Structure 1
């Protein structure tokens, strides 16, 4: 298996050396992945493909430990006012960007406002009304209303701090050339980014946390063929495989004595595999058609047979492990007679044709389910065409551009519903060209009201009641049919110390990861 020809000699050596070999000066970590990011700027792009390298390149105001407690990062301390309307960040002194320029309050303010305006998670910073910078080390975030998810939103994967002198030059933040050649302040610096092949990151020698990072280099090896990725892990050509969700992959790598397999590192992710409906489609605008499809799909078959028991059924928009999940939500257990009756009521008793897309790469969670839908929905008169995409950007362009009827998708809760759930269901988050927003084009005034109330409610029990009512409404409207939670695992070489197992997993700075001996 060939490796990227243009990467540095050190990276090439690392890729052909047995994983786990001791390195005299920090060494190289090779991370295997199937996804190519559009670019590396997590301020304007969500998703695993961007977040894992982005959190190594960019630092953020805060970081979180495994107990969900915020920890200092670029902000050495912070304070929230009694009324919840002001959060003050006190920045560390002496921190610099990779180009040597100092990190100042203006950079943090610029970054938060840039993320607010251009990131697909519109609700994440929506209450941020203004930001004051009384001096170079103080950031005062003024909120229009209390925001219970704000500190979590200041995490690495959600709030990268950008250099204003690079990104604030007036160019479109979403297509800025620096997105693919970013200057950050994180533990690693971009050496090379060749889409479809590899991302090479070098140690930041001037990182503001003394003694870190431990590694000299991180190489993201992009392997389009999942089978080849497994071989790379088994042969020692790669050292870590995060966000692994396939049952065959998990069980195969569990047999390798040189690898450790863990489910730790995904507590805040809340990944849900679902079938999205374009509610603006004439065929799917009638809720009875969407409900008919739900009654025709068998979650148990998908999780127990297609996924070989490694995934769990998911009945609603909030991950079932969350304290905000409503156990009473309708499950839509299989009932083909009811499904046929609903199709008849909707005027489609003679059937219809529909197309389903899926994310390329994770076949078991995506393509296999899409192909199952083709056979299962035929039982209620729906002829399904499974439409493949040659790569992730193509799929993202279709779904973000609303050029689809149905699509398999994987969407994260991101720790708090305000961050990861609201974006899918708020009507003001219907955003052309943006994935993982309200790509279903779903609009319901009651849902908007409930979510907007929950976004400012600081009392946990009251928030729970609001989210319970929200779940009941969307379970009736079904802009999405929720299928299963993803069984994310990380495989890594046993000689690797401090693998990323916090609440954000690999979407967290790997400045403490190192090789033993």
Structure 2
């Protein structure tokens, strides 16, 4: 049994639309993608054994793994890939990480070449399609897929589901890679960190993600083990650039300058992380966050910027939730303390996870969120374009967007790197994200299970529970 952080009544089993941490844990076990990321964050085969593209990245061909079956025993074929791609690229409701593909896929020309070969034809070059197809939200499903009765190829198959509470999956005995050692996988939603940790220590669950970091040492003395993994995950403050007073870039820069980033790492993350510089994707070869001037707390400059903007007596509400993950509420409270030094009155509003990720999600003027490790281009597509599905800041910058679109089409790695670095400079100067640190994943598991290892991409060994095994008590 696994204890997952957050969740709510809008939890889903849909392969292509997960949002919360429990959603992600579910889709990682029910479904699989054509490609995936290794523990070291390198793209590797999954349901596709190999892939290739033509010279201008408009035609991509995937050779599928043989012997893969769905949970109901049907063979997985290229026709299923075609159906999955059409669903995730539905122009009316594309999956968040298939939005770019949905705009450029040639639906008539794309499809199965034979039972084990799928070809995607694009109307415009897309140089990082392999990175996209490794995203966990783009799982393969059968043509008659019904998310209320989900069928995938993953190591566990659906049995029952109560949104916001409990999911029960059973072992997929014909899984192609590694049949799970556990007969069942139960995922329990926890809105409260204390309840989650108590469930682990009481033996009610065998693993938890997002362990409160201050417990990482103490948990070892209580019959459990901490699992710490370096990552590019981040818990930003999100500022809507289209609403006053945040539409003034001087106000946004002032909010960035009140943050004591190292204190955030030390206290909100209990030291399990590293300082960031208002840019994401530190594992991307194009990342320049370490090359730009490192922002540090500068209260005098923050006050000066606020005075220039006519906001000397700035009052704001900061919305947070424990469902965002470990360290979110703590960092929100710290931010309020830091901001007070510059004369900013910050009222922290802690709401339930179901409210935070409910109807107002992506509309909060000043809030937080969580993101896991991604490459820069894919992350920008998800959160920084005017039509991005998760544009929390409502950032809309024509020059930035042109750089991103040019980078999508650029097949030369060096030229694409230059375009992405120019885009990063714009976000650094004008964006609405306060990226103060990169978190280490800190999870925990009991003495009765083994097989977990550090994974860069996401918590709890990437939620691949078929790699865990019960400890032999003999």
Query: TM tier, shorter chain?
Result: 0.7 to 0.9
Shift of residue 439 of structure 1?
1.9
Q: 1:305 and 1:496 mapped to 2: Cα distance?
A: 30
* C-alpha contact (below 8 Å) 2:27/2:137 kept by paired residues: no
The gaps in structure 1 that reach 5 residues or longer are 1-29, 168-177, 432-436
Are residue 481 (structure 1) and residue 434 (structure 2) matched?
yes
Q: 2:325 and 2:41 mapped to 1: Cα distance?
A: 32
Are residue 376 (structure 1) and residue 338 (structure 2) matched?
yes
Deviations 1:400-459 (A, max 9, x none): 351x22002222342x22222332211232x5xxxxx11211111111122222223333
* C-alpha contact (below 8 Å) 2:5/2:210 kept by paired residues: no
Deviations 1:450-505 (A, max 9, x none): 22222233333333322222222111113111111112123223553432544545
Match of 1:200 among 165, 168, 172: 168
Superposed counterparts of 1:257-406, under 5 Å = 258-264=223-229, 267=231, 270-326=232-288, 327-349=290-312, 351-361=313-323, 365-390=327-352, 392-397=353-358, 399-402=360-363, 404-406=364-366
The corresponding residue for 1:462 is 415
RMSD: 2.7
The corresponding residue for 1:21 is none
Superposed counterparts of 1:49-448, under 5 Å = 49-93=22-66, 95-117=68-90, 118-122=94-98, 125=101, 127-130=104-107, 131-155=110-134, 157-167=136-146, 178=147, 180-207=148-175, 209=176, 212-244=179-211, 246-256=212-222, 258-264=223-229, 267=231, 270-326=232-288, 327-349=290-312, 351-361=313-323, 365-390=327-352, 392-397=353-358, 399-402=360-363, 404-414=364-374, 416-429=375-388, 431=389, 437-448=390-401
In structure 2, do the counterparts of structure 1 residues 277 and 310 end up closer, same or farther at CA, with 3 Å as the change threshold? same
Q: 1:96 and 1:116 mapped to 2: Cα distance?
A: 23
Q: 2:326 and 2:32 mapped to 1: Cα distance?
A: 34
TM-score, structure 1 normalization:
0.81
In structure 2, do the counterparts of structure 1 residues 332 and 399 end up closer, same or farther at CA, with 3 Å as the change threshold? farther
* C-alpha contact (below 8 Å) 2:234/2:370 kept by paired residues: yes
Deviations 1:322-370 (A, max 9, x none): 4322123243322222222222221223x23321111324675211222
Identify which range, 486-495 or 272-281, moves more after superposition.
Answer: 486-495
Shift of residue 286 of structure 1?
0.9
Match of 1:499 among 449, 452, 467: 452
In structure 2, do the counterparts of structure 1 residues 156 and 290 end up closer, same or farther at CA, with 3 Å as the change threshold? closer
Q: Secondary structure at the match of 1:121?
A: helix
In structure 2, do the counterparts of structure 1 residues 342 and 71 end up closer, same or farther at CA, with 3 Å as the change threshold? closer
Shift of residue 275 of structure 1?
0.8
* C-alpha contact (below 8 Å) 2:7/2:21 kept by paired residues: no
Q: 2:118 and 2:188 mapped to 1: Cα distance?
A: 37
Q: 1:332 and 1:444 mapped to 2: Cα distance?
A: 22
Are residue 490 (structure 1) and residue 438 (structure 2) matched?
no
The corresponding residue for 1:19 is none
Q: Secondary structure at the match of 2:12?
A: coil
Q: 1:441 and 1:220 mapped to 2: Cα distance?
A: 33
* C-alpha contact (below 8 Å) 1:97/1:103 kept by paired residues: yes
Q: 2:308 and 2:143 mapped to 1: Cα distance?
A: 57
* C-alpha contact (below 8 Å) 2:210/2:326 kept by paired residues: no
Are residue 510 (structure 1) and residue 470 (structure 2) matched?
no
Q: Secondary structure at the match of 1:228?
A: helix
Deviations 1:140-171 (A, max 9, x none): 0113344343223223613211222134xxxx
In structure 2, do the counterparts of structure 1 residues 363 and 187 end up closer, same or farther at CA, with 3 Å as the change threshold? closer
TM-score, structure 2 normalization:
0.88
Aligned length: 461
In structure 2, do the counterparts of structure 1 residues 347 and 211 end up closer, same or farther at CA, with 3 Å as the change threshold? closer
In structure 2, do the counterparts of structure 1 residues 389 and 241 end up closer, same or farther at CA, with 3 Å as the change threshold? same
Q: 1:78 and 1:55 mapped to 2: Cα distance?
A: 22
* C-alpha contact (below 8 Å) 2:450/2:470 kept by paired residues: yes
In structure 2, do the counterparts of structure 1 residues 312 and 73 end up closer, same or farther at CA, with 3 Å as the change threshold? closer
Shift of residue 68 of structure 1?
4.4
Q: 1:502 and 1:298 mapped to 2: Cα distance?
A: 28
* C-alpha contact (below 8 Å) 1:106/1:133 kept by paired residues: yes
Q: 2:397 and 2:419 mapped to 1: Cα distance?
A: 15
Q: Secondary structure at the match of 2:370?
A: strand
In structure 2, do the counterparts of structure 1 residues 320 and 63 end up closer, same or farther at CA, with 3 Å as the change threshold? closer
